[in-house]
Amino acid sequence: MKSIITEKTSIRLQVKKMKANISTHDKAKYSLSVLNKLEQDIDFAKSEYVIAYWSMKDELFTHDFIEKWYSKKKIYLPVVIGEILEFRLFEGRSKMKKEKSFGIYEPIGEILNDWSIIDYAIIPGVAFDKNNNRLGRGKGFYDKILNGINAVKVGVCFEFQVMDKIPIESTDIPMDRVYY
């Protein structure tokens, strides 16, 4: 019998291989389709304070979506600080800096200190399942945050990242819905 850690590692490797086989053009086209679903979400429409993520090359592309909405909503993006994520207000591409560890751009805006204001959370994942469970990259960054907020939690991903069932642990926080 495989351990949960072994199963999670296996899924991460499987998804990584699948991501490598998708062209940038197809990722962009698919991303637009998924993000259009987000825009149709009544909870997103009502939201004022959103956490999201500035996508890495292998994730659902969020850059244009964030730039489209940041003048209408307060959007906070993650900044990696050691073993935690700190969220900062996105105020445009010109107010971002390149992070060293993952090579992604991070906002330099005000730090989110009051998590109670967040009403919508757009969350990346390596994989999701039909029960809205999420498998992340393995550091538990998002689970630590999602455990303490009342926001609508929405996972976004490519269709091949949705599995029938993924292994979960008590610290894994499920999504309210997943768009793919």
Domain CATH number, residue 33: 3.40.50.10420
Rounded to an integer, the average pLDDT of 65-85 is: 94
CA distances to 7, 11, 13 from 1, rounded to whole Å, are: 10, 16, 19
What is the predicted pLDDT for the residue at 59? Answer: 95
User: What pTM value is reported for the model?
Assistant: 0.94
In this model, does residue 17 exceed pLDDT 90? yes
Domain limits for position 17: 4-179
- Confidence band, pLDDT 50/70/90 cuts, at residue 1: low
Report the number of distinct structural domains present in the chain: 1
Max CA separation in the chain (angstroms):
51
In this model, does residue 80 exceed pLDDT 70? yes
In this model, does residue 76 exceed pLDDT 80? yes
163 residue type, one letter: M
Rounded to an integer, the average pLDDT of 60-71 is: 97
Residues with Cβ within 8 Å of residue 113, at least 6 apart in sequence: none
- Each residue of 146-170: pLDDT tens digit? 988 999 999 999 999 999 999 999 9
What is the predicted pLDDT for the residue at 111? Answer: 97
In this model, does residue 119 exceed pLDDT 80? yes
In this model, does residue 43 exceed pLDDT 70? yes
50, 121 Cβ separation under 8 angstroms: yes
68, 36 Cβ separation under 8 angstroms: no
